[in-house]
Structure 1
Amino acid sequence: MGKLIAIVVAFGVLIGLALPTGKPIAAPATATGAAKEVVLTRGSTGHFFTDATINDRGSVEFMVDTGASFVALTVEDARRLGVDIDPANFDVIAEGASGPVRGEIVTLKSVEVGGIRAENVRAMVLEGSRLSLLGQSFLARVDQVNMAGDYLSLHDAG
């Protein structure tokens, strides 16, 4: 099971390393009572992008990656947000098609997308990644994740 998770994470990392970054296409939130919904529009690369607030400190641009087991941050994003890492202590945390993936596993105090919030979210800080990924360690905490056509929606009952 551990090898499977590492392969899935590595695949997500490879996608992140291969794709150009760009501004999020859309991430509007609507609140009805306590329920929240965020609807994202597919970008020109065929992927969904959104901004998320990390540890109540700042915003990070993420590519939504339903195939990634964890939220993954670039070293630059982690440093900017004050995530406690030491690249000198990075170790192999996954295996990808092009070889070992080095980084550090961390716990984020919070991840929030358009008012949908999760606390104590496991994440990876990845050496060499140019793109942060919003993976299952956040998405699995959302009540519903739906994709239809060029739209991906996150629904949280609150």
Structure 2
Amino acid sequence: MSSWDTGRLVYLGLLGAVLVVWLIVHNRQSLGRTLQQALGWALIFLAMIAVVGLWDDIRRTALPGRAAVASENRIEVPRSPDGHFYLTLLVNDAPVNFMVDTGASAVVLSARDAARAGIDTGTLAYTGRANTANGMVRTAPVRLDRIGLGPVSDRNVRAWVNQGEMDTSLLGMSYLERWGRIEIVGRSLVLER
């Protein structure tokens, strides 16, 4: 928790204490009824905090982003509410979630996703280096036997495993350039071969 978060928490705590004291002083004649109403409002407040805190998870569950296959060689991907495009590809027959990143020169797997795809991350040689928004990270080159998106499948795709922390793997240009056309139309990413 940062110092800003702590300050906000203290402020909200003091504000809540002042409101509680004011309610008790103002309604001391009917204290039982006032406590019932305060408890009701406290439950509503806690429910709103829970909804706000879990909103990203609720949205992903209720409105999952998915790739729609418009034809045999065309994939259309809706933009996620966070502004990015996400795809689930089969990497060595294991589903891996990727963020489409045209700024990444290659396919970059998180260590967790690489292990899910059957790559032994303990034996990899992390000899490469990559500049990221979070600074320099070490990477290991790998070859993916198969990577599939909808009806389209590619073999022997070069990728990198990132030794640093990554929330999601990146689908970079070494894969995207295999498509004949990449276009953003409205709020959708269109890939065609």
Q: TM-score, normalised by structure 1?
A: 0.74
Q: CA deviation at 1:114?
A: 1.3
> Once the 2 structures are TM-superposed, how far is the Cα of residue 118 of structure 1 from its aligned partner?
1.8
1:68 paired to 2:108 = no
Q: What SS is found at the alignment partner of 2:114?
A: helix
Q: Aligned pair 1:100/2:136, yes or no?
A: yes
Q: Is the counterpart of residue 40 in structure 1 residue 77 in structure 2?
A: yes
Determine which structure has greater relative contact order: mean sequence separation of CA pairs < 8 Å that are 6+ residues apart, divided by chain length: 1
RMSD of aligned Cα (Å): 2.2
Residue identity opposite 1:121 in structure 2: V
Letter in 2 for 1:94: A
Q: 1:7: which partner in 2?
A: none
Please state whether the residue corresponding to 1:46 is helix, strand or coil.
coil
Match for residue 59 of structure 1 among 95, 105, 130: 95
Corresponding position of 1:150? 187
Q: Which moved more, 1:20-29 or 1:123-132?
A: 20-29
Instruction: State how many pairs are aligned.
Output: 133
CA contact (8 A) 1:92 1:100 kept: no
What percent identity do the matched residue pairs reach?
35
Contact 1:111 1:138 in 2 (8 A): no
| Partner of residue 27, structure 1 | 67
The unaligned stretches of length 5 or more in structure 2 are 1-55
1:79 maps to 2:107: no
Bigger proportion of residues as strand: 1
Q: Which amino acid aligns with 1:102?
A: R
In the aligned structure 2, how far is the partner of 1:155 from the partner of 1:85?
33
Moved more, 79-88 or 109-118: 79-88
Query: In terms of mean alpha carbon deviation, does 44-53 or 20-29 score higher?
Result: 20-29
Higher Rg of the two aligned structures: 2
Alpha-carbon distance change, 80 to 151 in structure 1, aligned in 2, over 3 angstroms: same
CA distance in 2, matches of 1:97, 1:71: 16
Partner residue, 1:117: 153
Secondary structure of 2:121's counterpart equals coil
What's the offset of the Cα at 1:97?
5.0
Secondary structure, in 3 states, of the residue corresponding to 2:175? helix
TM-score normalised by structure 2 residue count:
0.62
**Aligned position for 2:31:** none
In the TM superposition, residue 87 of structure 1 has moved relative to its aligned partner by: 6.4
Report if aligned partners of 2:143, 2:156 keep a CA contact under 8 Å in 1: yes
Contact kept, 8 Å, 2:128 with 2:141, in 1: the verdict is no
Distance 1:98 1:135, change over 3 A: closer
